[in-house]
């Protein structure tokens, strides 16, 4: 009998045992609410979707003229590892030699897997820096707008607001929590790097039992745990700023705003108030004005504003609100509303961005640093805001604007991706398909034949964490976990580290890349950062072998002190914010001076572009995070598959909208707009506001006709429908959360979904050996 061994994932710590060809998973015994996503893991061991051998796209290998146009619709040939290594090394040498590092895109965005050493992003960036650098990407799909606007208004992202409000404070002191975008419990299943205890449900229940009330502002009723009976305000997607302005208007009109707080801790309130009351544009942002836009009643708005002013109130704004047109505005306006209530820095009151979106936000911070792989320095200064990938590939040399800078897109010849899935995460997949036909070469390391792998020229099989040893640890999580290898590598899969080391060896750079350490030596070496800090702090500090033997290590936490917000409230001159004024910037002269017409010096209402552009498509589609997997990861897993209907991703529709279109529960439907279409299976549900549909992200994109210019996804990936435009010229964040569509019953013959099945390969016998020159 094999013993259970400790391991970890982005969705929880667990232990596993592989026996008689089956992988058994047990959640960590200390986790009060283990995630159902653990149910996706066993399929890793034997899924036909795994990449088993290195594979090369035929057109690229044969150097056929115009071959790049066949990406996504070409054959693959399997090759040996030495052959694949040689091809990659030669191609890197050619591109770096002819064009330099500015022609290599290594942004490689994506969550890959938990584990501090075998972290694909760290590995690829270290590798490309050893070769001379690469064009990088900045910010995230999660938080593209907030990461740029918050530093102007509150100070460094991840400092002020995210370090100030804890679940303990909410449980202890909050009386009213107004959650814009909700706190969907499905989202707190996950935290990047790992999460050993899922506490959000407990904490919310505790606060509720003490008498705290919750307001859920969202088009979906299940964005808050049902048993906590939050009051649901079913808002029209993309209109939260109007609602917030309406609330602010009531506060001013009824003299419920905190003038002394605004005077002492903020700058620019008067400029904002001029806008709010219509002194600058002749339009009062009254509750009547707001109600027309956001679909929430006038009396409801007035009543809520009064309640907010009377209670210890916490305002939370989810990531999702800012992953939309003008996404900077709700983040900023939420801060302004909280400042008007004057409760920032009070226990359980004020403002928190993205609380509940990830399971460790709101927990206490760790008192010791975590092991981190040195990625070296990247000498290339060119970068893109992460969601501008298709723009960059389609428009080399063209100008774009970002956070006060006018920049140019670099001319990319080679794209190298490890640990991410752009054909999952990026908007307007038909446009992305065209963009992916531009580079000369695309190299991807993948664990499975995702649609990104199917658009690459060279696909190298990577192990999953289950096939290697690593250290699991994450921000604000108390447990460091020995992630012990549970299964042998599937097929010929290799760790990303081994892949890069072998290529580096062929390029004479292996010493630099590996520092002559084996993987195991690296783990012990990286562990030392934390061990030393533990010892210095007088904590129990076992050596690596003792930690490994024990399977886990409990790390010390910092005491809760209300964070930077409390300190600022106590003494704003001793603990100023890291903004130009040292205060909360209700008006930002910096942003005003950028002169953008899509993001001015204070928050304001900009009607969503999609409303104007897409009036032909009457329904809002919410494209949110899936409850049954992490993004596209393990879409082939049992739990994810158990939620599919007729092999399609479920899409929720309000029964009234369904009836108007003759759609019944379980019908396969076609969702469409000007950009494309996809099939999905209808689920009728009154938990979705009328006029809104909901299709989670993450079903692997499968085109009906891979060679067609505009493809339909037969599986249910919403990014075939979303728009590929930045939030504004300030942040250029992703706007993938909402789009406009129409839907109809699908009457045609149902094409089978094949993307989760085994890949077929062209016979490789006819090949002549080396690649022909391009």
Ligand X SMILES: Nc1nc2c(c(=O)[nH]1)N[C@H]1C(S)=C(S)[C@@H](COP(=O)(O)OP(=O)(O)OC[C@H]3O[C@@H](n4cnc5c(=O)[nH]c(N)nc54)[C@H](O)[C@@H]3O)O[C@H]1N2
Just list the catalytic residues.
109, 111
Q: Which is nearer to Mo ion, 316 or 654 (CB)?
A: 316
Question: Other C-beta atoms within 10 Å of 747: how many?
Answer: 8
> Of ligand X, Mo ion, none, which one sits near residue 625, judging by CB under 5 to 8 A according to partner kind?
ligand X
Q: Which is nearer to Mo ion, 111 or 746 (CB)?
A: 111
Residue window 238-267: x/- pattern of binding to ligand X, with contact defined by CB under 6 A? x-x---------------------------
Q: Which is nearer to ligand X, 550 or 642 (CB)?
A: 642
SS (H, E, C) 512-573: HHHCCCCHHHHHHHHHHHHHHHHHHCCCCCCCHHHHHHHCEEECCECCCCCHHHHHHHHCCC
**The total number of residues written for the chain in this structure:** 774
Distance CA 222, CA 694 (A): 12
Bridge partner list, 417: 444
> Of Mo ion, ligand X, none, which one sits near residue 603, judging by CB under 5 to 8 A according to partner kind?
none
DSSP string spanning 594-622?
HT-SSS-SS------HHHHHTTT--EEEE
349 counts as binding ligand X under rule CB under 6 A: no
Q: Which is nearer to ligand X, 122 or 514 (CB)?
A: 122
Positive or negative torsion for Cα 81, 85, 91, 94: negative
Distance CA 737, CA 144 (A): 12
Report the nearest approach of Mo ion to the CB of residue 143 (Å). Answer: 7
> Of Mo ion, ligand X, none, which one sits near residue 189, judging by CB under 5 to 8 A according to partner kind?
ligand X
Report the nearest approach of Mo ion to the CB of residue 628 (Å). Answer: 16
Bridge partner list, 24: 17
What count of Cα atoms within 13 Å lies in the side-chain half-sphere of residue 92?
27
DSSP string spanning 167-227?
HHHHHHH-SEEEEET---TTGGG--TT--S---HHHHHHHHHHHT-EEEEESSBGGGS-GG
Report the nearest approach of ligand X to the CB of residue 88 (Å). Answer: 14
> Of Mo ion, ligand X, none, which one sits near residue 349, judging by CB under 5 to 8 A according to partner kind?
none
Nearest CA to 180 out of 287, 306, 324, 289 is that of 324
361 counts as binding ligand X under rule CB under 6 A: no
8 counts as binding ligand X under rule CB under 6 A: no
> Using CB under 6 A, which of 591, 622, 668, 693 touches ligand X?
622
Report the nearest approach of ligand X to the CB of residue 243 (Å). Answer: 8
> Using CB under 6 A, which of 171, 189, 347, 702 touches ligand X?
189
Residue window 454-493: x/- pattern of binding to ligand X, with contact defined by CB under 6 A? --------x-x-----------------------------
> Of ligand X, Mo ion, none, which one sits near residue 418, judging by CB under 5 to 8 A according to partner kind?
ligand X
- The torsion defined by the Cα of 56, 57, 62 and 68, in degrees rounded to 10, comes to -140
> Of ligand X, Mo ion, none, which one sits near residue 238, judging by CB under 5 to 8 A according to partner kind?
ligand X
237 counts as binding ligand X under rule CB under 6 A: yes
* Residues 278-307 close enough to bind ligand X by CB under 6 A: none
Q: Which is nearer to ligand X, 150 or 262 (CB)?
A: 150
Distance CA 329, CA 340 (A): 16
> Using CB under 6 A, which of 102, 163, 186, 413 touches ligand X?
186
Q: Which is nearer to ligand X, 604 or 627 (CB)?
A: 627
425 counts as binding ligand X under rule CB under 6 A: yes
> Using CB under 6 A, which of 471, 630, 731, 753 touches ligand X?
630
Report the nearest approach of ligand X to the CB of residue 542 (Å). Answer: 27
> Of ligand X, Mo ion, none, which one sits near residue 271, judging by CB under 5 to 8 A according to partner kind?
none
Positive or negative torsion for Cα 423, 425, 429, 433: negative
Residue window 695-724: x/- pattern of binding to ligand X, with contact defined by CB under 6 A? --x--------------------xx--x--
Q: Which is nearer to ligand X, 119 or 602 (CB)?
A: 119
How many residues contact ligand X, by CB under 6 A? 64
Nearest CA to 124 out of 403, 384, 513, 442 is that of 513
DSSP string spanning 116-174?
SSS-HHHHHHHHHHHHT--BEEES-TTTTTHHHHHHHHTSSTTTTTTTT--HHHHHHH-
Q: Which residues neighbour 593 within 8 Å (Cβ) at sequence distance 6 or greater?
A: 404
> Using CB under 6 A, which of 178, 235, 414, 741 touches ligand X?
235
Q: Which is nearer to ligand X, 110 or 601 (CB)?
A: 110
> Of Mo ion, ligand X, none, which one sits near residue 257, judging by CB under 5 to 8 A according to partner kind?
none
Residue window 323-342: x/- pattern of binding to ligand X, with contact defined by CB under 6 A? xx------------------
Binding interface with Mo ion (CB under 5 A)? 142
> Using CB under 6 A, which of 219, 246, 603, 650 touches ligand X?
219
121 counts as binding ligand X under rule CB under 6 A: no
Report the nearest approach of ligand X to the CB of residue 519 (Å). Answer: 13
Distance CA 590, CA 249 (A): 26
Distance CA 699, CA 28 (A): 28
Q: Which is nearer to ligand X, 590 or 643 (CB)?
A: 643
Q: How far is CA 656 from CA 119, 234, 480, 536, in A?
A: 46, 15, 49, 63
681 counts as binding ligand X under rule CB under 6 A: no
Kindly provide the residue ranges of all beta strands, DSSP E only, lying in 656-754, ordered along the sequence. 668-672, 677-684, 692-695, 712-713, 738-745
Longest dimension (CA), the chain: 81
> Using CB under 6 A, which of 15, 137, 430, 633 touches ligand X?
633
- Is residue 368 within 8 A of residue 537, CB to CB? The reply is yes
Per DSSP, 401 falls in state E
Nearest CA to 409 out of 434, 444, 384 is that of 384
- Is residue 620 within 8 A of residue 692, CB to CB? The reply is yes
627 counts as binding ligand X under rule CB under 6 A: yes
> Of ligand X, Mo ion, none, which one sits near residue 684, judging by CB under 5 to 8 A according to partner kind?
none
> Of Mo ion, ligand X, none, which one sits near residue 450, judging by CB under 5 to 8 A according to partner kind?
ligand X
The binding site for ligand X (CB under 6 A) comprises 110-113, 118, 120, 141-142, 180-182, 184, 186-187, 189-190, 217-220, 223, 235, 237-238, 240, 318-321, 323-324, 357-358, 418-421, 424-425, 445-448, 450, 462, 464, 496, 622-627, 630-633, 697, 718-719, 722, 736-738
């Amino acid at each position: 009998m094999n013993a259970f061994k400790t391991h970890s994932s982005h969705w929880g710590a667990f232990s596993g045992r592989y026996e008689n060809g089956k992988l058994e998973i047990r959640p960590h015994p200390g986790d009060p609410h283990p995630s159902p996503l653990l149910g996706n893991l066993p399929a890793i061991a034997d899924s036909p979707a795994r990449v088993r051998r290195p594979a090369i796209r035929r057109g690229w290998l044969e150097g056929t003229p115009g071959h790049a146009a066949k990406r996504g619709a070409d054959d693959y040939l399997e090759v040996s590892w030495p052959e694949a290594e040689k091809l990659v090394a030669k191609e890197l040498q050619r591109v770096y030699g002819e064009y330099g590092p500015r022609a290599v895109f290594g942004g490689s965005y994506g969550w890959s897997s938990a584990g501090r050493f075998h972290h694909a992003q760290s590995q690829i960036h270290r590798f490309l820096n050893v070769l001379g650098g690469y064009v990088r990407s900045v910010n995230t799909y999660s938080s593209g707008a907030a990461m740029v606007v918050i530093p102007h208004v509150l100070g460094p992202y991840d400092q002020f607001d995210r370090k100030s409000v804890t679940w303990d404070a909410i449980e202890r002191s909050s009386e009213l929590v107004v959650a814009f975008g909700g706190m969907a419990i499905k989202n707190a299943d996950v935290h990047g790097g790992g999460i050993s205890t899922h506490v959000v449900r407990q904490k919310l229940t505790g606060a509720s039992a003490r008498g705290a009330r919750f307001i859920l502002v969202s088009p979906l009723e299940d964005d808050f745990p049902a048993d906590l009976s939050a009051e649901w305000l079913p808002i029209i997607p993309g209109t939260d700023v109007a609602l917030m302005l309406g609330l602010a208007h009531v506060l001013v009109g009824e003299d419920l705003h905190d003038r002394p707080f605004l005077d002492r801790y903020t700058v620019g309130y008067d400029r904002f108030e001029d806008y709010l009351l219509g002194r600058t544009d002749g339009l009062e942002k009254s509750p009547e004005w707001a109600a027309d836009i956001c679909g929430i009643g006038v009396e409801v708005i007035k009543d809520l504003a009064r309640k907010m002013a009377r209670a210890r109130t916490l305002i939370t704004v989810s990531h999702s609100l800012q992953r939309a047109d003008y996404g900077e505005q709700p983040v900023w306006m939420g801060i302004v509303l909280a400042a008007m209530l004057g409760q920032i820095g009070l226990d359980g009151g004020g403002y928190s961005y993205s609380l509940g979106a990830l399971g460790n936000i709101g927990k206490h911070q760790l008192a010791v640093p975590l092991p981190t792989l040195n990625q070296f320095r990247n000498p290339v200064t060119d970068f893109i805001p992460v969601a501008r990938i298709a723009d960059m590939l389609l428009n080399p040399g063209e100008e774009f604007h970002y956070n006060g800078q006018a920049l140019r897109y670099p001319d990319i010849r080679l794209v190298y991706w490890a640990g991410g899935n752009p054909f999952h995460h990026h908007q307007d997949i038909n446009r992305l398909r065209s963009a992916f036909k531009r580079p000369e070469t695309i190299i991807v390391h993948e664990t499975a034949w995702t649609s990104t792998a199917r658009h690459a020229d060279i696909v190298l099989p990577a192990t999953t964490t289950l096939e290697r040893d690593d250290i699991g640890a994450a921000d604000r999580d108390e447990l460091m976990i020995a992630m012990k290898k549970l299964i042998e590598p599937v097929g010929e899969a290799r760790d990303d580290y081994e892949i890069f080391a072998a290529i580096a060896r062929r390029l004479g750079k292996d010493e630099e890349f590996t520092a002559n350490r084996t993987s195991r030596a690296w783990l012990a070496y990286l562990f030392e950062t934390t061990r030393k800090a533990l010892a210095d702090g007088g904590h129990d500090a076992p050596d690596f072998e003792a930690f490994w033997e024990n399977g886990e290590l409990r790390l010390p936490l910092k005491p809760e002190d209300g964070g930077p917000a409390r300190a600022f409230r106590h003494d704003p001159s001793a603990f100023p914010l890291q903004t130009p004024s040292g205060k909360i910037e209700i008006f930002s002269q910096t942003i005003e001076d950028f002169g953008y017409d899509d993001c001015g010096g204070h928050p304001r209402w900009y009607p969503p572009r999609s409303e104007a552009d897409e009036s032909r498509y009457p329904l809002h589609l919410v494209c949110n995070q899936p409850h049954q997997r992490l993004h596209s990861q393990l879409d082939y897993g049992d739990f994810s598959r158990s939620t599919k209907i007729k092999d399609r991703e479920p899409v929720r529709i309000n029964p009234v909208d369904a009836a108007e279109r003759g759609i019944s529960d379980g019908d396969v439907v076609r969702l469409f707009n000007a950009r494309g279409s996809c099939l999905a299976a209808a689920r009728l549900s009154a938990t979705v506001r009328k006029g809104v549909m909901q299709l989670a992200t993450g079903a692997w994109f499968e085109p009906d006709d891979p060679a067609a210019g505009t493809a339909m996804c037969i599986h249910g990936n919403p990014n075939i429908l979303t728009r590929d435009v930045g939030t504004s010229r300030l942040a250029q964040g992703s706007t993938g959360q909402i789009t406009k569509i129409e839907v109809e019953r699908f009457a045609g013959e149902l094409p089978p979904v094949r993307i989760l099945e085994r890949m077929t390969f062209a016979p490789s016998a006819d090949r002549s050996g080396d690649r022909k020159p391009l």
